[in-house]
Amino acid sequence: MSELRKKMIRTMQLRNFSPATQKNYVRAVIGLAEHYKRSPDAINPQEIQDYIIHLLNVRKFAVGSCQTIATGLRFFYTVTLGLDNSRVPIPKIRGSRRLPVILGGDQLDRLFASADNIKHRALLMTVYSAGLRVSEVTRLKGSDIDSDRMMIRVEQGKGRKDRYTVLSQRVLEVLRDYWRICNPKLWLFPGYSDQPMSCVNVHYIYTKALKKAGIKISGGIHTLRHCFATHLLEAAVDIRTIQILLGHKLITTTARYLNVTSKTLQGTPSPLDLQQNKRSGSDQ
Query: Of residues 158, 203, 208, 212, which has the active-site annotation?
Result: 158
Continuous H helices in the chain: 3-14, 19-36, 45-57, 63-75, 105-113, 118-130, 134-137, 169-182, 199-212, 222-234, 239-246, 251-255, 262-266, 271-283
Give catalytic status of residue 133 as yes or no. yes
Exposed/middle/buried for 86, CB within 10 Å: 0-12, 13-18, 19+? exposed
Give catalytic status of residue 222 as yes or no. yes
Q: How far is CA 239 from CA 102, 164, 230, 244, in A?
A: 18, 16, 10, 9
Give catalytic status of residue 36 as yes or no. no
Residue type, 274: L
Give catalytic status of residue 141 as yes or no. no
Query: Of residues 133, 139, 163, 231, which has the active-site annotation?
Result: 133
Query: Of residues 35, 110, 222, 256, which has the active-site annotation?
Result: 222
Give catalytic status of residue 225 as yes or no. yes
Exposed/middle/buried for 250, CB within 10 Å: 0-12, 13-18, 19+? exposed
Compute φ and ψ for 176, nearest 5 degrees: -65, -40
Query: Of residues 139, 225, 226, 231, which has the active-site annotation?
Result: 225
Give catalytic status of residue 120 as yes or no. no
Q: What distance in Å separates the CA atoms of residue 37 and residue 229, rounded to the nearest whole number?
A: 46
DSSP state, 154? Answer: E
Query: Of residues 51, 128, 178, 257, which has the active-site annotation?
Result: 257
* Active-site annotation, residues: 133, 158, 222, 225, 248, 257
